[in-house]
Structure 1
């Protein structure tokens, strides 16, 4: 597998036009006449299309039924008028995309372990409702998703269609955040938790052991972040701004119209072999400083923010 992966990387770097034709043979339903990124930035992640199986219409159980350790991370979605839902990373790590519907809103709950980027998108584009799968491809080490309707490729970190018939369109991000299961359960005793999928996977095990303490990201060939920030340092991303997580040692920052709060108690999903009991990285909520409303944000690796927002603003404080 490693030999084949290295060969594919060399092919893409040396002969981008040939690599594009290889993509076209593997993806006959994709319109390769439309794209807005260089094809030599896209690599195989070592698995084929759907080798990481996305989920659709998952089952849910109550908080009291969920046997999830209190420190394990979940992605939380709270839509007005709907019962809050938690999507455990012990499942998302192995499936990366969950196509769900909350009330009347079709959503894609996504997690790219290589960028630590957990984002939720509205699956509606115009009059279409899309269903997403995992392409097995990476760009700047970030998952490239594809939709099953047009086989267009979508960048998970930005929600943009980058190749195919829908190139140039953008998904609307839904407010979500990561927090430990215990915090979700304490706040929502009547909440719903995604049930364990039926796939034969060792849920609760981290297949990317010690990844978040690595020196370099996987299949990333871009620049390192500026200001001496380590590529795999965590940052709080809000739009085109990023706050290094180390600035939140006091627990709270109020600036740029935002209230950014860090709380201890959430295990990293990318540290030890077992997620539960891994290194405590804490969790973050970002709210509008005036209204108190939750704001779209993510806690991601610094290299990914720099790759997708090269002109972004680094909020370093004094």
Structure 2
């Protein structure tokens, strides 16, 4: 269970005094191959507070017809996945507390993920070289981003980049699938006959934001790296497509941009999941869709600027005129 914001902050400050190393983690992860890794600076990896599986990932969740679902505020964000003729919504009110959903959609094994500390919502194909993996939450962070692990080899995976960074599968990359965050009202408008994930059977205060005020903070959890350039706030949202990033503020101002082979559109009506104590009361940050020139959805992420800069330090900032 993720602790309240202040309690987590205290835990992370205490954890930051411990200099991580492969030897330090080996006792907790005896089945992980620490001899194989792409991590050069182990100090970057820190405990986020909860232990392995302390934040329980979900497997094969139940779904209900969207038209029958009650209790979700219209502005609450959901992750939308459209595959194989199906449309499914994964409410952030659940993913805030679970962070990973292992599911199968249209015959494709997928992992729907959300890292609250980076606002990163990505969906991956769980197959690597024909092998289906299932993912859990390690309880570790790197640049404030969730480190996932696969249950088959106990390799560690960086959520923001979809790549294994420790263990037998180091260097393997998950294929990112097109999905996006939008308001519950937007999903219902477009898919009245779609499906929405049912409330999990865990004892959680679903709908509450345990990170109250986080996206208004001056600095993210346990991040000691460089701040974003161009005077961009560390916790400003950016739309990442490949190694390029468009500030959300620009999209909200212009409504649509057509650059670098993509069309990015903005629409008001989605609440921030990291603002007020109840997710549905969060300020309006808007929704993004990213499509190519043929109108097809493009894999992308809406993440905080500091995380983009941490993982793509040479990335291209699309600031406009």
Shorter chain as denominator, the TM-score bin is over 0.9
**Corresponding residue for 2:284?**
280
- Between stretches 32-41 and 304-313, larger displacement belongs to 32-41
Alpha-carbon distance, 1:117 to partner: 0.2
1:113-154 Cα deviation digits (max 9, x unpaired): 000000000000012110100000000000000000000000
Paired with 1:5 and 1:193, the residues of 2 have a C-alpha distance of 34
Paired with 1:269 and 1:227, the residues of 2 have a C-alpha distance of 26
Alpha-carbon distance, 1:83 to partner: 1.5
Contact 1:179 1:284 in 2 (8 A): yes
Tell me, yes or no, if structure 1 residue 10 matches structure 2 residue 17: yes
**Corresponding residue for 1:314?**
317
**Other structure's SS at 1:303 match:** helix
1:51-96 Cα deviation digits (max 9, x unpaired): 10000000000011211211100000001x3310000000000000
**Corresponding residue for 1:142?**
145
**Corresponding residue for 1:220?**
223
Paired with 2:18 and 2:281, the residues of 1 have a C-alpha distance of 41
**For 1:103, which of 78, 103, 106 is the aligned residue?**
106
* Root-mean-square deviation over aligned CA pairs: 1.2
Contact 1:52 1:94 in 2 (8 A): yes
C-alpha change, 1:74 and 1:4, in structure 2 (3 Å) is closer
Q: 1:185-204 alignment to 2 at 5 Å?
A: 185-204=188-207
Paired with 2:261 and 2:127, the residues of 1 have a C-alpha distance of 30
Alpha-carbon distance, 1:20 to partner: 1.9
**Corresponding residue for 2:65?**
62
Alignment: residue pair count: 311
Tell me, yes or no, if structure 1 residue 209 matches structure 2 residue 212: yes
**Other structure's SS at 1:265 match:** coil
C-alpha change, 1:165 and 1:210, in structure 2 (3 Å) is same
Paired with 1:225 and 1:8, the residues of 2 have a C-alpha distance of 25
Paired with 2:250 and 2:105, the residues of 1 have a C-alpha distance of 35
Alpha-carbon distance, 1:103 to partner: 2.0
TM-score by length of 1: 0.95
Paired with 2:131 and 2:16, the residues of 1 have a C-alpha distance of 34
**Other structure's SS at 1:10 match:** coil
Runs of 4+ in 1 over 3 A off after TM superposition: 1-8
Contact 2:12 2:221 in 1 (8 A): no
Q: 1:85-100 alignment to 2 at 5 Å?
A: 85-100=88-103
Paired with 2:257 and 2:10, the residues of 1 have a C-alpha distance of 47
Paired with 2:220 and 2:262, the residues of 1 have a C-alpha distance of 30
**Corresponding residue for 1:20?**
22
Alpha-carbon distance, 1:22 to partner: 1.9
Contact 2:12 2:222 in 1 (8 A): no
Contact 1:83 1:190 in 2 (8 A): no
**Other structure's SS at 2:16 match:** helix
**Corresponding residue for 2:239?**
236
Contact 1:82 1:102 in 2 (8 A): no
Q: 1:38-49 alignment to 2 at 5 Å?
A: 38-49=41-52
C-alpha change, 1:92 and 1:4, in structure 2 (3 Å) is closer
TM-score by length of 2: 0.95
C-alpha change, 1:261 and 1:201, in structure 2 (3 Å) is same
Long gaps (5+) in structure 2: 1-6
Tell me, yes or no, if structure 1 residue 259 matches structure 2 residue 266: no
